Structure formats: C-alpha cells, structure tokens
Amino acid sequence: MAEAPRRQPQDNLTDDALATMSAGRCPECGYRGFVLGPRGGMSQNIECGNTKCRTRFNVLCVSGEIVMGSYIPRESEGGGTWPSAWGSGK
C-alpha cells in the first residue's frame, strides 16, 4: 500500500484533525494509537502507529487535548529516526 498523500510541514492541523487526534486517532488513516518521538519545550512529536501510514505530527497538548499541531516529515521523507519508531531498525 502506498503512503498517504503528503502534507507539507507548514500545513497546520485543522480543528477537525485536532479533535480526531485528541480522541487518539490519526486524522489521515483513522488508526487508533501513536508512537511518541522526540519532545522539546511544550511540543511533542508523534507518529501514527499504523505502519502503512506513519504520518508524523508536531503537537501541543494541554490537559489531554491536542490544541495545536502541524505535519512533519516521515522517516522515509528525510525526517529523523526515532528510537521508538516501528521498523526504524533501532
């Protein structure tokens, strides 16, 4: 299966996508679950747990709700390797 159509890193998540993610689902494929990546400051990088999607996001979570976020490159698109990422070989 081909990867989902790629959003650009400057693409911010819509309100609908933020609500979907706050419910624990990927806004791209609907899979329930994320792999945590690096974090810094108040933001957290997360990756869809569906190995056929693996869309990555940088998000800001406040009191259990994702309130801001944007797309970031997948590992296959030149994004960094996360030690916890499935199939990263780490």
At 10 the pLDDT is: 60
Q: Does 36 fall in a domain?
A: yes
Task: Determine, yes or no, domain membership for 84.
Answer: no
Tell me the residue range of the domain where 62 lies. Answer: 15-75
Is 47 part of a structural domain of the chain? yes
pLDDT tens string 33-55: 999 989 888 999 999 999 999 99
DSSP letters of the chain?
-PPPPPPPTT-BPPHHHHHHHHTTB-TTT--B-EEEEEEETTEEEEEES-TTT--EEEEEEETTEEEEEEEE--GGGTPPP-TTSTTS--
pTM listed for this prediction = 0.80
pLDDT value of residue 8? 60
Q: Is residue 34 part of a domain?
A: yes
Query: Does 1 have pLDDT greater than 70?
Result: no
Residue at 81 is within a domain: no
Total domain count, the chain? 1
Within a domain: 33: yes
Average pLDDT of the chain is 84
Q: Is residue 44 part of a domain?
A: yes
Question: Which residues partner with 62 through β-bridges?
Answer: 65
The answer to whether residue 65 sits within a structural domain is: yes
